[in-house]
Amino acid sequence: MSGPNAMNPSESPVSSRRDFLKTTTRTAAGVSVLSGITIPYVHASVNDEVKVALIGCGGRGSGAASNALSVGPPTRLVAMADVQKNRLDSSFDALSSKHPDRMSVSEDAKFIGFDAYKQAVDMLKPGDIAVFATPPAFRWVHYKYAIERGVNIFMEKPLSVDGPTSKRMLELNEEAKKKGLKVAVGLMCRHCRVRGELYNRIQDGAIGDLILARAYRMQAPVASCFSKRRPEDTPELIWQIQRFHSFLWASGGAYSDFFIHNIDEACWMKNDWPVEAQASGGRTDRGDYVDQNFDHYSVEYTWKDGSKFFFEGRNITGCRNEFSTHVHGSKGMAIVSTAGHLPAKSAIFKGQTRDSSATVWRAPSPEPNPYQTEWDDFLDAIRNNKPYNEMERGVKASLVTVMGRMAAHTGQIITYDQMLNCPYEFAPGVDKLTLDGPAPIHEDANGRYPVPLPGVNRDREYAMADVVVPKAPEPPAAPAPAPAPAPAAGAQKS
């Protein structure tokens, strides 16, 4: 498992009162309510069993499935899919020992390969849930199929890694909305009850106008964000998938995968998405590491009213660590999160310092785990047929994250519209990958991958000539055609 959030997550994301921008009624803390969604034509009633298929059986997928199976009965895991059998097997074992009564995954419901997601989704009926917890490169592929099959979807963050896949996700979502599918996004802090309460207080003016936000995710390197040269006996594609935080095509890199939570919660509190970003970043002495990540990023996001959001990201050992989000207003300031996702320990202060004598409000403790509350809210919407589609704001959070990363990687100001319309797709044809086929990007003779060069590559994040587009498998050769009859005298060639 990579990251801190497997079966027992220690991490912890919304919704809003204005449809993130338009919802007009006050949100119950953390519950998503978006407008413009058709009432679904199929839904599970309170007593129906909701079946779940897990696609991507790693750390978070196993954790999400466990959260799904922990919601009041009846939910049931019926299918699992992965590209690595060992990951599927260990996930199956862990889930079986924790939820023996909720597991019905027979041997012929365990699927391996890049097409395994189709077989797992085919085990579901409309009203059931497909869980997507692969690296994010595959989200649009899996989302497209699940929409065609008419099932509800829970998908992990991030939802997209570049401009074209963000746009594609938004387009696909129009179809999901027409079908009234319930769609949940694993930005679980949006379902954190105390952050939801803080959001409501800020919208009610508790800190005045929000004029500054600052967030930090400064930590030692985690998960697979730093990689040394690939072992010769591991094929390049599977190695890139195992070490997906190291590759921009697979994860959006350390920036997208790790930093999105803090970026999203700051934007939630502001009730807006930034219109542009400028940034710096780089690689310090990275020795023989071959991945594509910078190890530090410093980003200035600008909201459309001119107010600023500063984000500091670092993956370096031996430095001071911080994992928090703060917002400042004309009358006071607030802690959104103190040290990680859970507990948030949100608080509001008079003035601009965290001086306990100036405390206006402090979150009650203990806090419910948002990894569980996001599932409670999702299942409640499915069972009670409430509109529920978190996709649009999940894509916007992913895109704004990509915007900051691209600003740092190119050394340019990048606007929201530029990012959305950026033509460079990291892994075109990711839907055609095969287990024994080529990876989307290749190492050089020294085993290294292209890294961003700010100021050199100004309109793309690295030398995109390195992107390899997989070809669709050749169809079987057709039998030789019978010899054509001789053209009639006087016939024209078209």
**CB-count burial class (<10 Å; 0-12, 13-18, 19+) for 293:** buried
- Residues ≥6 apart with Cβ < 8 Å to 381: 32, 182, 387, 388
Q: Which lies closer to ligand NAD via its Cβ, residue 234 or residue 353?
A: 234
Under 8 Å between Cβ of 138 and 427: no
11 in contact with ligand NAD (CB under 6 A): yes
Which one of 53-61, 210-218, 278-286, 353-361 is the stretch in contact with ligand NAD (CB under 6 A)? Answer: 53-61
Considering only 14, 33, 52, 57, the residue that binds ligand NAD (CB under 6 A) is: 57
Q: Kindly state the tokens that stand for 231.
A: 């072992």
What mask, x for binding ligand NAD by CB under 6 A, covers residues 12 to 51? ----------------------------------------
Give me the least distance between CB of 373 and ligand NAD, in Å please. 13
Q: Which lies closer to ligand NAD via its Cβ, residue 49 or residue 115?
A: 115
**Of the candidates 270, 154, 285, 142, which has an alpha carbon nearest to the alpha carbon of residue 215?**
270
Give me the least distance between CB of 363 and ligand NAD, in Å please. 19
Under 8 Å between Cβ of 290 and 247: no
Give me the least distance between CB of 160 and ligand NAD, in Å please. 11
454 in contact with ligand NAD (CB under 6 A): no
Q: Which lies closer to ligand NAD via its Cβ, residue 84 or residue 280?
A: 84
The span from the CA of 213 to the CA of 336, in Å, is 10
150 in contact with ligand NAD (CB under 6 A): no
Considering only 257, 264, 376, 461, the residue that binds ligand NAD (CB under 6 A) is: 257
83 in contact with ligand NAD (CB under 6 A): yes
Q: Over the Cα atoms of the chain, what is R_g?
A: 23
- E-strand stretches of 119-248: 129-132, 152-155, 183-185, 210-219
279 SS3 class: strand
Q: Kindly state the tokens that stand for 122.
A: 């085919």
The span from the CA of 389 to the CA of 309, in Å, is 27
Q: Measure the CA angle with vertex 398, ends 392 and 399; round to 5°.
A: 90
Q: Which residue is nearest to ligand NAD (CB)?
A: 58
Under 8 Å between Cβ of 53 and 80: yes
Give me the least distance between CB of 57 and ligand NAD, in Å please. 5
**Of the candidates 298, 316, 283, 297, which has an alpha carbon nearest to the alpha carbon of residue 449?**
283
CA torsion through residues 443, 419, 432, 138, sign: positive
Which one of 83-91, 146-154, 319-327, 435-443 is the stretch in contact with ligand NAD (CB under 6 A)? Answer: 83-91
The span from the CA of 136 to the CA of 199, in Å, is 28
- Residues ≥6 apart with Cβ < 8 Å to 129: 50, 51, 52, 53, 68, 151, 152, 153, 154, 378, 382
Give me the least distance between CB of 300 and ligand NAD, in Å please. 25
Give me the least distance between CB of 440 and ligand NAD, in Å please. 12
Q: Which lies closer to ligand NAD via its Cβ, residue 349 or residue 388?
A: 388
Q: Which amino acid is at 1?
A: M
82 in contact with ligand NAD (CB under 6 A): yes
55 in contact with ligand NAD (CB under 6 A): yes
The span from the CA of 193 to the CA of 115, in Å, is 38
Considering only 33, 81, 153, 399, the residue that binds ligand NAD (CB under 6 A) is: 81
Find the Cα–Cα–Cα–Cα dihedral 323, 420, 378, 177, rounded to 10°: 170
Give me the least distance between CB of 172 and ligand NAD, in Å please. 17
120 in contact with ligand NAD (CB under 6 A): no
Considering only 17, 51, 76, 87, the residue that binds ligand NAD (CB under 6 A) is: 87
Give me the least distance between CB of 113 and ligand NAD, in Å please. 8
439 in contact with ligand NAD (CB under 6 A): no
207 in contact with ligand NAD (CB under 6 A): no
Q: Total number of residues binding ligand NAD (CB under 6 A)? A: 31
Which one of 28-36, 81-89, 170-178, 209-217 is the stretch in contact with ligand NAD (CB under 6 A)? Answer: 81-89
Give me the least distance between CB of 457 and ligand NAD, in Å please. 25
Q: Which lies closer to ligand NAD via its Cβ, residue 210 or residue 248?
A: 248
Considering only 2, 302, 338, 415, the residue that binds ligand NAD (CB under 6 A) is: 2
Considering only 23, 70, 84, 321, the residue that binds ligand NAD (CB under 6 A) is: 84
Peptide bond preceding 4: is omega within 30 degrees of 0, i.e. cis?
no
The span from the CA of 485 to the CA of 129, in Å, is 56
Under 8 Å between Cβ of 380 and 71: no
Q: Which lies closer to ligand NAD via its Cβ, residue 57 or residue 400?
A: 57
Considering only 27, 54, 145, 156, the residue that binds ligand NAD (CB under 6 A) is: 156
The residues that touch ligand NAD, with contacts defined as CB under 6 A, are 1-3, 5, 11, 55-61, 81-84, 87, 114, 116-117, 133-136, 138, 156-157, 186, 188, 241, 257
